[in-house]
Structure 1
Amino acid sequence: MPLAPIEKLPAELIQPIFFYSDLNLALPAASPHIASKFANEYCYHAVCTRYLTTNLESRVEQTLAQTRIFSYKWMMWDHFRSFVLKKWGVNGCLCGKTPKEGCFDAQWPPDFEDATTMLFSRSHLPALSYIKCRIPVKLLSGPWTSDKVQFLRFLLWTTSMTVDWASHEARAAAREGKKEALLTGNLEVVELFNHNRRLGKAPSVDTVRFAVMDAGCDRSIVYDTMATARTWGLRGEAWNCEVLDQWCEGKIQEGDPKGEWLQLKLEELRVTHGAGDLNSGYMDPETGNYEDVDGDKLVITPHKWNQVYIYSCAARPFQDALHPVPSS
């Protein structure tokens, strides 16, 4: 099919048209030939500034535009970091304000490796927190490179992005992404899925059973998964599982220390002290622990996703305020 006249325009002519249209994303979406004329850092930065930092009149249209931007191939971790540094480097804080404008605890430079080290509260939000679109499918499944993990963690910590649960592709990607993280023993990714309800439901006994029997019972992953399931309501008899009990007995007979360790953790989780007792089922990380055997060392990470801390005034992390836990 021959190119349309507009597709034949050189970049020097079509780029001004794009900017005069208020960076209407329908233009690059109309043709890959047209889109290639905007494939440069100047246009990318302008698009991000327009749709990720400016409140437009239509919230729905802006959310759709933001979702489209994060799905683009060029929107990768390197580019996003570059955009963040250029956009807010002058003010020196991810809140986008100077001290005169209300910034009282500058978070700069951004911790791109582990965003959870940056402190925010309801009275000191990052400017990115107003991004309310869909997490791109490309960040929901493996291979779990360090760039992908850092990008996903940064977006979960600083924005209001969620998985598009109405999309079969997104649901499948999130499900397979978590499964792959369990099977490959990727503790960082498993922790993200365990502690963020925006990435799916809280782990269940079925999840623990999969982590034990199918994924090799990495103790760090199993402990974190069990602890999270307990936090979200699994108590007492809910931990009764004949299959796991049989697995423990089998490993004990084989002389595998994982058997006794998991058996003890299950016994601790099954302890109850009365209805509504929050101390019921507490797992002591020290009981039953043993030295590193064949690379299986118990690592327990202090998580910040749902902590209460003192920050200017008593406040939960802004994520809790912006992302209420779903009922299901």
Structure 2
Amino acid sequence: MDLTPIKIRGKRKRPGTTKSNVQKAIEIASSRAKRAHLARKPTRAKKIEEIVMPTLPGLPQELLEMIFLYSMNISLPRASFTLGRNLSSKTVTLEFVLRSFFHTVDHKTNYRDRKTTSDSEIQSQLLACRFFTWDFFRSYVQKAHGTLIQQRGAIWKDASVQPPGLEAFDGLFPFKFTKITYLGFAEGFRIPEKLLRGPWTTDKAKLLYVLVSLNGELDWEGSMAGEIAKAGLRQAIEENNERAVAALAVLLGVAQMIDTSVLRKAVIECGCNINIVRQLLFNAQILHQSSPKASLDFHDPALWRWADTHEGKGVLLKNLLRKTDKFSLEFYLEGEEGARAKTVPFPYGGAKFDPRTAFDTDVGKEMLVRLYRTYGRKITASPRRRRHRNIEEEPHGEQQ
């Protein structure tokens, strides 16, 4: 029997939407739990806007370059990769080198009375950088030449006589490019180790040769440059690179580090290239007579046996060894006037010493020895260097 539906006044609800007591209890419990969770949740702190200061790498490029060139701090590009990348353009590096070399000399005064503020330590660090190559050096010479003319005024632009520029390095003759007085190299700057080792390229040998001609030195006490130069000389002999041999023979000859083993390598192992042997013997003889060393023997039996078995070069080698032992070996040999252009000149040859002159008197030899001891800077040593040399020679005199 069907039940009779009864209408009840009140809220109308759809059929089937009536909640049971269980559902109501669940909803009440969940709402209470949600309110308790919200009550335990901490209130969010208000955001405080902080002013962020710009970092050094974040500065604009123009401002960063101005700071670098004003501070002249060579360590700034090495502080981070970003700074090194932003400050490594050729324009910036060329301007930094110009200020470290050219602008350290007062070019408006007489050459003998010039005041210099050059720092050999900073210059040595710049020469050791990767960017300082033969092409970069030529760019610096060209930039320095243009800056010099600009400083002297517009009248020099149209003058018939111009100061020597980049063309002075054509052919690399020291008596030409050593006349350039505005490059600003400091006294005592060191030749970097990267130029003392092989493999020997043409540009590397050129840059080394020019730096030696401009009175560069080796740091024998504070680095491994001397040992690297010894190994580099042997490799240059193997590669038959006369220009590298000419430069390294001077650096090692000043320290009397050319020994018999080097001569044997050039003669016996590498076929006795006369030009290379001449570079070695000429530099080895300069200080050997005044302070001979047992490690260098011009009467070495192995060298003379090789000379006996080779008629052409052997006869010439014997003649060279005899003259070297008496400190009478001239740089240019007799009868080779036409071949002088093919011979790499003596790096210290210039206004102070002419390698074409003969050793007829002891005065010329003594002047060459003094020039050699001062790395080609001057024949008469300064008082400071003279006192330093006397202090070094006193203990040896007492032992004798």
**Partners of 1:300 and 1:79 in 2: how far apart?**
26
| 3-state DSSP of counterpart to 1:6 | coil
Task: Identify the residue that residue 128 of structure 1 maps to in structure 2.
Answer: 184
Shift of 1:33: 1.7
Write out per-residue CA displacement over residues 53-89 of structure 1, whole angstroms, 9 at most, x where no aligned residue. 2339xx9993322222112211222122112211222
Task: Identify the residue that residue 293 of structure 1 maps to in structure 2.
Answer: none
Residue 194 of structure 1 aligns with an amino acid whose one-letter code is A
- 8 Å CA contact 1:111–1:117 kept in 2: the answer is no
**Partners of 2:146 and 2:56 in 1: how far apart?**
37
Task: Identify the residue that residue 306 of structure 2 maps to in structure 1.
Answer: 247
Task: Identify the residue that residue 86 of structure 1 maps to in structure 2.
Answer: 143
Matches within 5 A, 1:1-328: 5-19=55-69, 21-55=70-104, 62-91=119-148, 106-113=163-170, 114-118=172-176, 120=178, 125-130=181-186, 132-158=188-214, 160-196=215-251, 200-201=255-256, 203-234=258-289, 238-249=297-308, 251-252=309-310, 257-267=312-322, 269=324, 279=328, 285=333, 303=346, 305-306=348-349, 308=352, 319-321=376-378
| 3-state DSSP of counterpart to 2:169 | coil
Q: Which runs of 5+ in 1 are unaligned?
A: 273-277, 290-298
| 3-state DSSP of counterpart to 1:29 | coil
Shift of 1:178: 0.9
CA distance 1:205–1:186, shift in 2 (3 Å): same
Write out per-residue CA displacement over residues 304-326 of structure 1, whole angstroms, 9 at most, x where no aligned residue. 6246569xxxx999933189699
CA RMSD of aligned residues (A): 4.4
- Rg larger for: 2
CA distance 1:190–1:23, shift in 2 (3 Å): same
- 8 Å CA contact 2:102–2:144 kept in 1: the answer is no
Identity of counterpart residues, as a percentage? Answer: 21
**Partners of 1:192 and 1:5 in 2: how far apart?**
46
- 8 Å CA contact 1:18–1:27 kept in 2: the answer is yes
Shift of 1:127: 3.7
CA distance 1:33–1:200, shift in 2 (3 Å): farther
**Partners of 1:110 and 1:25 in 2: how far apart?**
30
Residue 262 of structure 1 aligns with an amino acid whose one-letter code is L
Residue 126 of structure 2 aligns with an amino acid whose one-letter code is I
Shift of 1:201: 3.0
**Partners of 1:282 and 1:16 in 2: how far apart?**
53
- 8 Å CA contact 2:100–2:118 kept in 1: the answer is no
Residue 83 of structure 2 aligns with an amino acid whose one-letter code is I
Residue 11 of structure 1 aligns with an amino acid whose one-letter code is Q
**Partners of 1:229 and 1:261 in 2: how far apart?**
17
- 8 Å CA contact 2:169–2:177 kept in 1: the answer is no
- 8 Å CA contact 2:128–2:193 kept in 1: the answer is yes
In the alignment of these two chains, the number of paired residues is 291
The worse-fitting range, judged by mean Cα deviation, of 185-194 and 224-233 is 224-233
Q: Which runs of 5+ in 2 are unaligned?
A: 1-53, 106-115, 337-341, 355-366, 393-400
Shift of 1:183: 1.3
